[in-house]
Amino acid sequence: MNPKKLIYPVFLPQAGCPFQCVYCNQFAVTSGESGDLLTAARARLDLHAEQVRSSGRPGEAAFYGGTFTALPQPVMTGILDHAAFLVDRGIFTGIRFSTRPDCLGEDICEILAGFPVKTIELGAQSLSDSVLGASRRGYAAQQVIDASACVRRRGWSLGIQLMAGLPGDSASIFLESVRRTIAMGPDFVRIYPALVLKGSRLAEMFSSGAYRPLGLDDAIDWVVPGFSMLLHAGIPAARMGLHADPALNRPGVVLAGANHPAFGYLVRCRWWRDRIEKELGGRAGGSLSIRAAPNFISEIIGPERCNIGYFESGLKFGKVQVKGDPELTGMQFILKISD
């Protein structure tokens, strides 16, 4: 799966959801459709279709923000029918959606098989039964594994969404969730730090002191090794951190937690810093030259040159230079230390 492929999203806030999950308030974080869902979803698809006709850039029609496969069946198939009609006409390249793992049994997959579905994202959030229980998700890790197998058997692309820092989670439990996720062989993974959103159950737990979300530094510390594991497994981290929907940035929407519009960038910057520090193997002092492919230079330098500051102040290098080298491919880098 190419995570950069064009996606035409339709947000259906909490539509089909059996209950409101502890961390969720889709109405607060997305500018979604309201009113009659079938009519609203069709209208949004038509708007996207107009956009594709004028831009000449087809992409996948995507349904996010709820539990797509738990919509009343006539609504789900009505939306799929309309999307499939536009796929037939070359407007969309296929259909993708996110759903809960416990709402994707064989019976639903059988219905979906009649439509041009390309990608299914499972909102797993964790592969730990204790975290899933403490977060009242309403299913166990085995259901995530079963639903993933169902997606795989049908030949659809599989995306897994994980959340770091839910009630009962820890850095090691989160990494075990990443490890179990990799074992399911997804095509891509999204990782979000758990946030406290207004109107959510977590907001009540937060105000009573029963829950404390990860701060930005802790969230980065937790996610960097998970990102590294995904890289080693050749699985793209299609997104880290919530999509910066304008609704998310309205004052009072995020009450606490690691909310940063460039969370993924911060994770990648720290990953480069850790990797270079490891390669240095304790060497310090003198001048440090770092060469890497030009597209990684900004991540190596870090926001406000924080990685350079770390190498200079933390590791005592007098001068640090980072240069783009088009000869270097992938995530290769070359270090040179001189007096």
Question: CB-wise, 75 or 315, nearer to ligand SF4?
Answer: 75
Cβ atoms of residues 172 and 141 within 8 Å? no
Virtual torsion, Cα 190, 195, 200, 202, nearest 10 deg: 110
Q: Which of 8, 30, 62, 67 binds ligand SF4 (CB under 6 A)?
A: 67
Query: Least CB distance from residue 104 to ligand SF4, whole Å?
Result: 12
Question: CB-wise, 25 or 93, nearer to ligand SF4?
Answer: 25
- Counted residue by residue, the chain has a size of 339
- Rule CB under 6 A: say whether 14 interacts with ligand SF4: yes
Q: Which of 8, 10, 17, 214 binds ligand SF4 (CB under 6 A)?
A: 17
Question: CB-wise, 21 or 108, nearer to ligand SF4?
Answer: 21
d(CA 230, CA 223) in angstroms, rounded, equals: 11
d(CA 115, CA 72) in angstroms, rounded, equals: 17
- Rule CB under 6 A: say whether 21 interacts with ligand SF4: yes
- Rule CB under 6 A: say whether 165 interacts with ligand SF4: no
Task: Please give the span between the terminal C-alpha atoms of the chain, in angstroms, as a whole number.
Answer: 46
Crossing angle of helices 73-88/37-55, nearest 10°?
A: 10
Q: Which stretch binds ligand SF4 (CB under 6 A): 1-9, 12-20, 52-60, 214-222?
A: 12-20
Q: Which stretch binds ligand SF4 (CB under 6 A): 13-21, 104-112, 190-198, 240-248?
A: 13-21
- For residue 61, list its beta bridge partners: 8, 95
Query: Least CB distance from residue 158 to ligand SF4, whole Å?
Result: 17
Cβ atoms of residues 10 and 31 within 8 Å? no
Contact residues: ligand SF4, CB under 6 A:
14, 17, 20-21, 24, 26, 66-67, 100, 123
